[in-house]
Amino acid sequence: MQPVTVFNWPLMPHQLVYWYKPNDVPVACNWTYSLKRCPSNLSMKISRFSTEGPHLISDLQPGNLYQYSVQINLSPYLNLEYSPMVSVLLPEILEPFKLNVSNIGWGTQMIEWKWAEENMANTTYDLIQKHLDSLIIFEPNVTSPIVKGNLLANTEYTYILIARSGRAKQPFQSVRSTLQTISDKLCMAPTNLKTVPFEQGLLLTWELPARNLSQVAVEKFYILIDQGIKTYSLPATNSGHYQYTVEGLTPCVRHTISVLSCSHLGDCSNAAEQYGIPLPQGETNQDCVWMWLLDQLGFNLPVMFFVHC
């Protein structure tokens, strides 16, 4: 028998194996094949096949060296010698996209992802959320990031993201499990959050006080606009004044603005929340004018601080 041919399957912990039938075996004979697989530091395994392949071997562990050899079985008691061993290392699988899950408050988690390579156009995503081994929630055609609320405290949640790309013949998936919990040491909470409305947008300003020893260093801010999220990266300093311009908002609608400061572990502070009104410019809109006047007279909703985590 000639040595088998082995290929690592792209982006999956599988190996493709095939071989050729010996020329000296009579056509009239009935035969099967025994494929011997010897993983490093694991016991040998023999699989039976009726054809030369290719066969996709899936029960493999990334990072192991696998040795393959095949034997032809002409009858239950007549077996030819095994072919020479072929060794192939199954590398650690590199996920095509990075999936992150962060606790951004009591009962709230944020799921975000990004492809490792650029120009992944025409890619759609489906999100599966599972907890308690029973409740499964499926959300098709989602976009990053996603905020999941009403979660149970001290409960493990598993997220499976499935990506279907026009460049790939099969979907990819990435899995993350995380515990919905609260950090013992909170980040510094943003203070003095203010909003300045303009045409289809808001200018946000806030402050971050000096950190004491019991608080975790802040790495970035999360700015939540209604159900969407925009991320503002924190400069090297951990105190001072910050501002961020939010554009593309719907005019004449009250938008909920939340600002959280978060550590590199994804644990976040109390959130500062405020309702702002982006007032259109260059045109007369009576509804918006009345809303703006009521706000100036003190009928607007006040700034509120909610404890998220």
Dump the DSSP string for 83-128: PPPEEEE-PPPPPSEEEEEEEEETTEEEEEEEESSS---SEEEEEE
pLDDT, tens digit, 9 for 90 and up, residues 259-293: 888 777 666 766 677 766 655 554 555 556 555 55
Residues 299 and 195 in one domain: yes
* Closest of 305, 303, 243, 240 to residue 270, by C-alpha: 305
Residues 197 and 269 in one domain: yes
Q: Which two tokens stand for residue 51?
A: 């054809």
Residues 63 and 145 in one domain: no
**Per-residue b or e along 129-157, where b marks 16 or more CB atoms closer than 10 Å to that residue's CB:** bbbeeeeeeeeeeeebbbbbeebeeeeeb
- Cα 144 to Cα 215: distance, rounded to the nearest angstrom: 29
Does the residue 256 lie in any domain? yes
- Cα 104 to Cα 301: distance, rounded to the nearest angstrom: 24
Residues 73 and 136 in one domain: no
- Cα 139 to Cα 147: distance, rounded to the nearest angstrom: 12
Residues 247 and 293 in one domain: yes
Residues 48 and 134 in one domain: no
User: Which range has highest mean pLDDT (22-31, 226-235, 240-249)?
Assistant: 240-249
Question: Would you state the pLDDT for residue 253?
Answer: 73
* Closest of 133, 222, 129, 123 to residue 165, by C-alpha: 123
Does the residue 226 lie in any domain? yes
Please compute the mean of the pLDDT values over residues 168-176 and round it to a whole number.
67
Does the residue 185 lie in any domain? no
Distance of CA 66 to the CA centre of its chain: 30
Does the residue 302 lie in any domain? yes
Does the residue 112 lie in any domain? yes
Residues 204 and 114 in one domain: no
Residues 123 and 166 in one domain: yes
- Cα 175 to Cα 128: distance, rounded to the nearest angstrom: 9
Mean pLDDT computed over every residue of the chain = 74
Q: Which two tokens stand for residue 208?
A: 């971050």
Q: What is the CATH number of the domain that holds 127?
A: 2.60.40.10
Looking only at Cα atoms, what is the longest distance across the chain? Answer: 98
Q: Which two tokens stand for residue 305?
A: 């601080």
Give the global pTM. 0.47
Query: Structural domain tally of the chain?
Result: 3
- Cα 55 to Cα 77: distance, rounded to the nearest angstrom: 25
Q: How far apart are the first and last CA of the chain?
A: 64
Considering 119, 154, 180, which residue would you say is the last residue of a domain?
180
Residues 108 and 84 in one domain: no
Does the residue 148 lie in any domain? yes
Residues 112 and 161 in one domain: yes
pLDDT above 70: residue 247: yes
Considering 152, 180, 208, which residue would you say is the last residue of a domain?
180
pLDDT, tens digit, 9 for 90 and up, residues 182-209: 555 567 778 888 888 877 788 888 888 8
3-state secondary structure 131-164: ECCCEEEEEEEECCCEEECCCCCCEEEEEEEEEE
Q: Which two tokens stand for residue 227?
A: 């159900």
pLDDT above 80: residue 4: yes
Residues 130 and 77 in one domain: no
Is the CB of residue 2 less than 8 Å from the CB of residue 80?
no
Considering 150, 180, 210, which residue would you say is the last residue of a domain?
180
Does the residue 128 lie in any domain? yes
Question: Would you state the pLDDT for residue 23?
Answer: 75
Does the residue 186 lie in any domain? no
Residues 15 and 44 in one domain: yes
Q: Which domain holds residue 116?
A: 97-180
